[in-house]
């Protein structure tokens, strides 16, 4: 058979960026609860805490002991799951939920999760954070063998693999499906008998276990546990599958060969909420350490340290404390910019940055400003902010990034542009400085980021974290990408083994 050809990252991920888009989209958030009163209301609260991980769509699947009930909506959690009738719409003591940004599959309702299917033994709903790097290869073979897909999301592949498995129990069928997928993922599955949670073998995507008055909770981040008043129990380990059933029975297994954990560094740089604890590390503390190390590596005489809010705030605090330069809020962020705001012309789009960020002229005028942001992607938004600060009267602008230069795209759940559109991949430091119109430019080093994580330097042989966006060292095979670039053209028998092994 002929495998589908993919021509760009937007093809791999199923959508195309807007021309002026210069932000990394958040991945997705998953939340599940087993045997709790008003489970869907608890899930809605948990998803609200995870809203930062995906703001395009959300959904909840609940089980009342006899029937599954599902709702999926475009938009924010608060818009979709408010009202006193939620428990009437989604009854039961068992539920999972998902908040989404489309990193694989277009942004349409049929791609919104959780995805549900009726199997011969049970219904099953699945919520997935991450990306499968062999999705297209699996999808092509499943379609050839008769599978009918209702979406373009990579998550639906998992449902088909579970349905095709001939293993005896739902747990075994789920593990059988996991054995065929590659990439980064945190997965939740709800059946009429159990709640299943799984984390990819490298632990790229996070997943935690909590306790809500005797009910077990699974969530992408600890901030979701805090929102509902649940106690943190532990992280789900890399490659671990947990099955929660009965009143309070939890079974853990490690069905795949042991591997060294390599959690995603961008959870700490950008994605996770600062009040979360990810893999035992406070995100807030790590970001402050990043700022302190950035001051050590790229210090400059200045009058004021100013964060690009909100994600640059902890690093700016660390930079200010380490350097002794006063910290000030020189940029004020509006939290009320409408999600559906229409930008009808290029001129209006150019003003869009001012809807989110406004200069505090009293802080900036006549000052030598150290401007701290979490990262630089394409540089277009950074340039707009620099110009805004300059127009507010700043005498000098020294731009500092609290992460290393981003030089490589991601395929594990982060929406990054193709490599030829990443600023640091296409320009020298001097060229970036000139493009951003700043007096100086500095980035945190890769070893500095590892130091901020408390592990000293990066081990070049066995890196402790997933860091390919800085180093080009991808932690897994990228089968779909290899096929797209013509470097791997598996034959029909090889593809068949992907789904039948």
CA distance 72 to 115: 9
Q: In this predicted model, what pLDDT tens digit does every residue of 463-481 receive, in sequence order?
A: 999 999 999 999 999 999 8
Q: Give the pLDDT confidence score for residue 258 in this predicted structure.
A: 83
> Residue 220: its pLDDT value, please?
98
Look at strands 368-373 and 396-401 and give their pairing. parallel
Spatial strand order in the sheet of 183-191:
115-118, 123-132, 183-191, 194-199, 241-245, 249-253
Q: What is the largest CA-CA distance in the chain?
A: 72
The CATH number of domain 285-333+345-458, selected from 3.40.640.10, 1.10.3720.10, 3.40.50.2020, 3.40.50.620: 3.40.50.2020
Classify 360 as helix, strand or coil.
Answer: coil
28: annotated active-site residue: yes
The answer to whether 9-262 and 285-333+345-458 have equal CATH topology is no
Q: What is the pLDDT of residue 82?
A: 86
> Which CA distances in Å does 62 have to 41, 43, 92, 102, 489?
10, 9, 6, 23, 41
Q: What is the pLDDT of residue 84?
A: 87
Q: Is domain 9-262 annotated with CATH 3.60.20.10?
A: yes
For residue 328, give the nearest of 369, 299, 385 by alpha carbon.
369
Question: 407-410: long-range contacts at Cβ-Cβ below 8 A with a sequence spacing of 24 or more?
Answer: 407/469, 407/470, 407/471, 407/472, 408/468, 408/469, 408/470, 408/471, 408/472, 408/474, 409/9, 409/469, 410/266, 410/468, 410/469
Q: Which residues of the chain have pLDDT under 70?
A: 1-27, 102-107, 336-354, 487-501
- Mean pLDDT, the chain, whole residue set: 88
Cβ count within 10 A of residue 19: 9
What pLDDT is attached to residue 338? 46
What's the confidence (pLDDT) of residue 109?
86
CA dihedral for 291, 296, 297, 301, sign (positive or negative): positive
- 112: tokens are 């919104």
Nearest Cα to Cα of residue 184 among 98, 267, 246: 267
CA angle 181-184-186, nearest 5°? 95
**pTM of the predicted protein model:** 0.89
Is 32 in contact with 98 (CB distance < 8 Å)? no
Domain ranges of the chain: 9-262, 285-333+345-458
pLDDT at 24 (0 to 100): 57
Give the C-alpha separation, 471 to 467, whole Å: 6
């Amino acid at each position: 058979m002929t495998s589908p050809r993919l021509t760009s990252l937007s093809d791999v991920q199923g959508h195309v960026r807007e021309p002026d888009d210069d932000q990394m989209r958040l991945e997705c958030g998953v939340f599940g609860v087993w045997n709790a009163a008003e489970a869907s209301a608890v899930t809605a609260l948990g998803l609200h805490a995870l809203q930062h991980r995906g703001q395009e769509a959300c959904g909840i699947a609940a089980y009342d002991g006899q029937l599954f009930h599902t709702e999926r909506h475009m938009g924010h959690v608060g818009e979709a799951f408010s009202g006193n009738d939620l428990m009437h719409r989604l009854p039961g003591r068992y539920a999972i939920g998902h908040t989404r940004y489309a990193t694989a599959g277009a942004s349409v309702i049929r791609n919104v999760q959780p995805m549900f299917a009726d199997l011969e033994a049970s219904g099953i709903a699945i919520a997935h954070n991450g990306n499968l790097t062999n999705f297209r290869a699996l999808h092509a073979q499943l379609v050839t063998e008769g599978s009918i897909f209702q979406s373009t999301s990579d998550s639906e592949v998992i449902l088909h693999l579970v349905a095709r498995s001939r293993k005896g129990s739902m747990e075994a069928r789920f593990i059988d499906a996991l054995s065929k997928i590659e990439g980064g993922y945190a997965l939740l599955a709800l059946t009429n008998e159990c709640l299943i949670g799984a984390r990819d073998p490298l632990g790229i995507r996070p997943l935690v276990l909590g306790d809500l008055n005797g009910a077990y909770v699974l969530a992408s981040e600890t901030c979701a546990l805090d929102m509902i008043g649940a106690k943190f129990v532990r992280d789900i380990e890399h490659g671990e599958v947990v099955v929660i059933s009965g009143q309070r029975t939890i079974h853990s297994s490690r069905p795949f060969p042991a591997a060294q954990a390599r959690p995603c560094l961008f959870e700490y740089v950008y994605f996770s909420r600062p009040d979360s604890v990810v893999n035992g590390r406070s995100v807030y503390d790590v970001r402050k350490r990043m700022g302190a190390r950035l001051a050590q590596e790229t210090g400059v005489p200045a009058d004021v340290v100013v964060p690009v809010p909100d994600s640059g705030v902890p690093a700016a605090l660390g930079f200010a404390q380490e350097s002794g330069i006063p910290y000030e809020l020189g940029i004020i962020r509006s939290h009320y910019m409408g999600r559906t705001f229409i930008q009808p012309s290029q001129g209006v789009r150019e003003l869009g940055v001012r809807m989110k960020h406004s200069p505090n002229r009293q802080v900036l005028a006549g000052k030598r400003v150290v401007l701290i942001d979490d990262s630089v992607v394409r540089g277009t938004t950074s340039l707009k902010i620099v110009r805004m600060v300059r127009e507010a009267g700043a005498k000098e602008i020294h731009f500092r990034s609290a992460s290393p230069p981003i030089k490589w795209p991601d395929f594990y759940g982060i929406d990054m542009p193709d490599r030829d559109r990443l600023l640091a991949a296409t320009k020298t430091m001097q060229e970036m400085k000139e493009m951003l119109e700043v007096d100086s430019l500095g980035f945190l080093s890769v070893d500095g980021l590892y130091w901020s994580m408390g592990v000293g330097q990066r081990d070049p042989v066995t890196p402790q974290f997933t860091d390919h966006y800085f180093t080009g060292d991808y932690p897994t095979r990228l089968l779909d990408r290899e096929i797209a670039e013509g470097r791997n053209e598996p034959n029909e028998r090889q593809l068949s083994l992907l789904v039948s092994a």
